[in-house]
Structure 1
Amino acid sequence: MKNNRNIKPKVLFFDVNETLLDLTKMKKQVGDALGGKDELLPLWFTTMLQYSLVTSASGDYKPFGHIGAAALQMVAANNGITIAEENARAVIGNAMQNLPPHPEVKEALLQLKQAGYKLVAFTNSSTEGLKNQFENAGLTDYFDEQLSVEETGKFKPFTETYLWGATKMNVKPAECMLIAAHGWDVYGAMSAGLKAAFVARPGQQLFPLAPKPEIVETDLKKVADILVTYQ
């Protein structure tokens, strides 16, 4: 769905993992659990996303961290490594809740707040997990609201989940913009009628068959510099 460009959205929704938080530290911890094979992190992450979609499509719900731990067990098994469920959950829980923000994130968020934007975190992580992530990263005070899809029982990028977020903030989908570093998230948001900005973090690409988002930049500060010009 096409949206009017350069019109200031009422609410900015931010994906959290990779968009705001740097996954480098997590890559090391997951890599260690996989026998030092850091190169398996992308496979683990995509497996986690795949099975979050499978869970939602099946009408079920499991905490995102638990799906991440199960995905870790699957990737490990395919590489001749056995990880017990309890150990996998401990690895993922610790890794995901102790991530630093990317270097430009705090400056960009402050710039957007000072420009009058309402900032909302919008994540597949659990409510408790998001709270811990933000406290550990020092991001809590930058946001007006923290939303986890846990309340909906359905993960992004399901259309209903984005519409729930807009309803939760008492705005229309077209009055929202999702800012994310994942092509699938941006595509899902635009399909639900939201505006979108893509943060092209290293290793991330837009889906070529999806509509192009309103903003495409390499970091959050560059996205913020554009958004503060909106009327």
Structure 2
Amino acid sequence: MKPILDLHPLQKSVGDALGGRPDLLKIWFSTVLHYSLVETSIDQYHDFGQVGAAALIMVAQANGLKLSQDQAKEAIAPITKLPTHPDVREGLEALKSKGYKLVALTNSSRPAVEKQLKNAGLYDLFDEYLSGEAVHSYKPNLKVYNWAMQKIGVSSRESLLVAAHGWDVAGAKRAGMNTAFVARADQTIYPLAKTPDYTVNDIIELSKILPAR
């Protein structure tokens, strides 16, 4: 959800839980992604919230802090109340007006993504809300993208994955999808993966360069 939702508000709650270290937010998020891939690799599945709490406990321990399961869950709870980036609403409305079907595909649970989009005021713009939990796996596992395309009834050449993470774009491209990389602050493309079809600064720019359906 990085191309849509702004993670910065998590800095305070996560930073407070980690002894006043908001700079550790990036390490926590990287740890979440790392261990979601571990879950996939060892054929195990815990939902994204559980992995997120476990990762926060790990980061705390690595920095000489103790954090309970309840404290970790409370610290990451604001993830369902994140604001959007300023360009998102206008950009998504423009894509809808061009005839595009908008589908949220996330590693978060379906209830979590629905709550996120409702709180962000974007729920009405999406036609479907899909989570890797349906196949007990996480992006960038190819079966998540393949399942999503099958679920909404489109071929790889008819689909476009829009993401602000290099790993997400790499996975979707490997699955045969068209891809658009949104170059949010501190995000980069994985240089060993296939080049995205589009690289843009925000959703408004993407809406302007995509043709009408």
TM-score, normalization by structure 2: 0.97
Query: CA–CA distance in 2 between the matches of 1:204 and 1:24?
Result: 14
Q: Give the alignment partner of residue 127 of structure 2, picking from 123, 129, 144.
A: 144
Which residue in 1 is equivalent to 2:108?
125
Please say if residues 199 and 220 of structure 1, whose CA atoms lie closer than 8 Å, have aligned partners that are also in contact.
yes
Relative distance call for 1:20 and 1:221 in structure 2 (3 A) is same
The alignment covers a number of residue pairs equal to 213
Q: Give the alignment partner of residue 54 of structure 1, picking from 4, 15, 38.
A: 38
Query: CA–CA distance in 2 between the matches of 1:31 and 1:216?
Result: 31
Query: CA–CA distance in 2 between the matches of 1:184 and 1:174?
Result: 20
Q: Deviations over 1:174-193 (max 9, x none)?
A: 21110000000000000000
- The letter for the 2-side match of 1:175 is E
Which residue in 2 is equivalent to 1:11?
none
Which residue in 1 is equivalent to 2:58?
74
Displacement over 2 Å in runs of 4+: none
> Which aligned pairs between 1:200-219 and structure 2 lie closer than 5 A?
200-219=183-202
> Which aligned pairs between 1:1-231 and structure 2 lie closer than 5 A?
16=1, 18-92=2-76, 94-227=77-210, 229=211
**Deviation of the 1:54 alpha carbon:** 0.5
Query: CA–CA distance in 1 between the matches of 2:27 and 2:70?
Result: 21
Query: CA–CA distance in 1 between the matches of 2:57 and 2:97?
Result: 44
Q: Deviations over 1:145-168 (max 9, x none)?
A: 011111010100001110000000
Q: Deviations over 1:26-46 (max 9, x none)?
A: 122111111111111111111
Query: CA–CA distance in 2 between the matches of 1:155 and 1:203?
Result: 22
- The letter for the 2-side match of 1:59 is D
Identical-pair percentage: 46
Which runs of 5 or more residues in structure 2 are unaligned?
none
TM-score, normalization by structure 1: 0.90
Work out which structure has the larger RCO, using CA pairs closer than 8 Å and 6 or more positions apart in sequence. 1
Please say if residues 30 and 95 of structure 1, whose CA atoms lie closer than 8 Å, have aligned partners that are also in contact.
no
Query: CA–CA distance in 2 between the matches of 1:35 and 1:125?
Result: 26
Which runs of 5 or more residues in structure 1 are unaligned?
1-15
Query: CA–CA distance in 2 between the matches of 1:37 and 1:224?
Result: 37
> Per the alignment, in what secondary structure is the counterpart of residue 67 of structure 2?
coil
Please say if residues 98 and 212 of structure 2, whose CA atoms lie closer than 8 Å, have aligned partners that are also in contact.
no
CA RMSD of aligned residues (A): 1.0
Query: CA–CA distance in 1 between the matches of 2:212 and 2:102?
Result: 15
